Amino acid sequence: MAKYKKKRARELQHDKFRDTAGKIFDRLGDRLEGKGKAILYGLVGVVVAALLVGVFVNWRNRKADEAQRALGRAIEIASSPLAGDPLGADPKAQKFASEQERAQKAIEEFQKVAAKYGDPYRTEARYFIATSMLAVDRTKAIAELAEVAKSSVPEVATLAKFALAQAKEAEGGLDEAAALYAELAKQQVPVVTADTANLRLAGVYEKQGKKKEATDLLFNIVDAGRQVKDKDGASVPLSSAAREATEQLQKLDPDRYAKLTPEAPGGLPF
């Protein structure tokens, strides 16, 4: 009964609005009689179109907020501490007995997002499902990462390809990993910079015994980073990838490291 009342109230409210609007348009029609009812109909069309656009935009924004909250809850679960984590972890945070238990729960939440919302949230959820699945079923996870890497959402596709390359590297598929890192290094997507991809590629080359190729990559990352200037011509701090490349180059080939362009004071990290 209560539901019916609410429904009926909405119907009555709608009828009242329709009647009022009808009267207004009738009065306008009388005034414009013989002078251009086409103008009136045109105005009505514009008003209706504007209302429809406003309703759609409002609905889309609400759905986006809802999707972001749902995705955030799933990510929170995926990053929750395990029962044996240090005491520094938030005591109120949900804890899981094992990485597999946490991954399974996160997967369930991400699946809800993927089933309910469109892109980019669906593709983001699929990416997180695949990365969580690495702790449960690596074969299935790798297959899913390969699919997400082909998606039309650039940033998520890039992240999926990077995660796929890391998974291949961890399993000893160095040739496949090297090919993926090389592809990423050529892309212009900030979420995985060329320096980051080349740094990982250098690590693969080192594992493959290709010391010269690894050294060349590391040298180029660091040397290019040290030559970057800001708008005033001052050196800028090295990126985290460039700093890590500096350390690796010094360990791998001290002689080549000594040939680097000297780092200006402005290039030192804060």
Least confident of 88-97, 183-192, 193-202: 88-97
Phi/psi at 235 (nearest 5 deg)? -65, 145
Give me the pLDDT at residue 56, please. 44
Q: Give 114 or 22, the one with higher predicted confidence.
A: 114
Alpha-carbon span 216 to 252, nearest angstrom: 11
Q: Give 219 or 71, the one with higher predicted confidence.
A: 219
Could you tell me if 145 and 131 are in contact, meaning their C-beta atoms sit under 8 angstroms apart?
yes
Give me the pLDDT at residue 6, please. 42
Give me the pLDDT at residue 46, please. 59
Q: Which residues pair with 214 in a beta bridge?
A: none
Q: Give 254 or 231, the one with higher predicted confidence.
A: 254
Give me the pLDDT at residue 154, please. 93
Closest alpha carbon to 214 in 187, 189, 249? 249
- What is the mean predicted confidence (pLDDT) over 151-163? 95
Give me the pLDDT at residue 24, please. 53
Closest alpha carbon to 126 in 96, 105, 146, 100? 146
* Total-model pTM: 0.73
Alpha-carbon span 167 to 95, nearest angstrom: 26
Burial class, 263, CB count within 10 angstroms (exposed 0-12 / middle 13-18 / buried 19+) = middle
| pLDDT band at residue 145 under the 50/70/90 scheme | very high
Show the tokens assigned to 104.
């399974």
| pLDDT band at residue 172 under the 50/70/90 scheme | very high
Q: Does residue 269 have a cis peptide bond before it, meaning omega lies within 30 degrees of 0?
A: no
Alpha-carbon span 154 to 47, nearest angstrom: 37
Phi/psi at 36 (nearest 5 deg)? 145, 65
Could you tell me if 109 and 74 are in contact, meaning their C-beta atoms sit under 8 angstroms apart?
yes
Give me the pLDDT at residue 91, please. 63
Could you tell me if 162 and 184 are in contact, meaning their C-beta atoms sit under 8 angstroms apart?
yes
Q: Give 236 or 152, the one with higher predicted confidence.
A: 152
Q: Give 233 or 266, the one with higher predicted confidence.
A: 233
Alpha-carbon span 127 to 123, nearest angstrom: 6
User: What percent of the chain is predicted at pLDDT more than 90?
Assistant: 52
